[in-house]
Structure 1
Amino acid sequence: MTGFLTRVHLHYGRDLFNNYIRFGIPKYRDDFTGREAYEYYPAGAIFGYIKWQANDYDTKSWRFFVLRAGDDTTPQQVIYGITPGAEILADISGKERVQRFFKAIDQIEARDIDGSDVAPDYWVQSNARINSSLDPLPYRPEQHRAWLLERAVS
């Protein structure tokens, strides 16, 4: 991979919006204030990005992305707050769907597996299931071992 980095804008505005990382390991982070920062991810890194926004009455928008950072040779989708963009493995919107997706992530993390180490195909499949009103399938230990072996040889 190249030295190319994907920049993620993290921003918090009390009771108005919150853009933050659920999982992922950045190469480095620039903190500007207690409420705003940039994190930089190397090409190939997988991370979970939450965009929450409210209005005077309740939650206006709640989206969760599982993204893979790319480089100048990989196709990337434009996402506000991600520069220059990233490959979307999962795009979940709506409070109920995001909460159901978080339950699947919680189950994975309960087995001491970081979401950034999960097989990308699992995120794509879980995205399709959530958007079809189905729950994601459990992430099986043998599935994880197979992904780690595949990643080690490529």
Structure 2
Amino acid sequence: MSELTRVQLLWLQGKIENRIRFGRTVQELRLDHYRREFSFIPGSVFAFVHWSSNDYGTVLSRIDILQAVRAGEACATVPFVDPGAAILLQAFGWPKVERVLQHIDAIEALGIDPVDVAPDHWRHVQNRLASNEPPRPYTPLRNRAWLHRRSVMP
């Protein structure tokens, strides 16, 4: 269990919302009415959305697509993620977060679970967002190739 990556979700109505957009959890722990903790095994890919506001409006909109790492592997620190994770994609600001969410929706519309998308595709989306260009669509053919590669290469 010490190898798990833990993500703390917090929900305070109208103030803070942390949620998992996609990912295969192996453990869920309810800490109290406002907090839960989800755990992921090493290698798992998941999307973590963080939104917060104050009396004047939205302060932060953020999405991170992360990959859980093994103990001792290099990782980045991400708020609410313990011990950290490999960052595949990171977007700040509602316009970019919305584009990522729309891309995830398009992948799901193809019948593909975003968890099974090639990590390099998420990096590609990150780079295209940074250059304000639309990402290439993810295709079922590319997904089959990635799943085959993953099955033959440990």
Deviation at 1:3, TM superposition (A): 6.6
Paired amino acid for 2:18: N
Q: Which consecutive segments of 4 or more residues in structure 1 shift more than 6 A?
A: none
Identity among equivalent pairs (%)? 35
Q: 1:59 and 1:111 mapped to 2: Cα distance?
A: 32
Q: Which residue of structure 2 lines up, in the alignment, with residue 47 of structure 1?
A: 46
Paired amino acid for 1:13: L
Q: 1:137 and 1:59 mapped to 2: Cα distance?
A: 30
Deviation at 1:54, TM superposition (A): 0.6
Q: Which residue of structure 2 lines up, in the alignment, with residue 149 of structure 1?
A: 148
Q: Provide Cα deviations, 1:92-116, integer angstroms capped at 9, x if missing partner.
A: 0010011011111100011221111
Tell me, yes or no, if the aligned pair for 1:101 and 1:136 is still in contact at 8 Å.
Answer: no
Structure 1 unaligned spans of 5+: none
Paired amino acid for 2:53: A
Residue 94 of structure 2 corresponds to residue 95 of structure 1: yes
- Matched positions, count: 153
SS at structure 1 position matched to 2:28: strand
Q: Which residue of structure 2 lines up, in the alignment, with residue 139 of structure 1?
A: 138
Deviation at 1:34, TM superposition (A): 3.6
Q: 1:19 and 1:135 mapped to 2: Cα distance?
A: 26
SS at structure 1 position matched to 2:135: coil
Q: Provide Cα deviations, 1:14-71, integer angstroms capped at 9, x if missing partner.
A: 1111111000001110012342100010000000000111111211111100000001
SS at structure 2 position matched to 1:33: coil
Tell me, yes or no, if the aligned pair for 1:3 and 1:43 is still in contact at 8 Å.
Answer: no
Tell me, yes or no, if the aligned pair for 2:53 and 2:60 is still in contact at 8 Å.
Answer: yes
Structure 2 unaligned spans of 5+: none
TM-score normalized by structure 1? 0.95
Q: Which residue of structure 2 lines up, in the alignment, with residue 33 of structure 1?
A: 32
Q: 1:3 and 1:95 mapped to 2: Cα distance?
A: 34
Equivalence map 1:1-154=2 (5 Å): 4-154=3-153
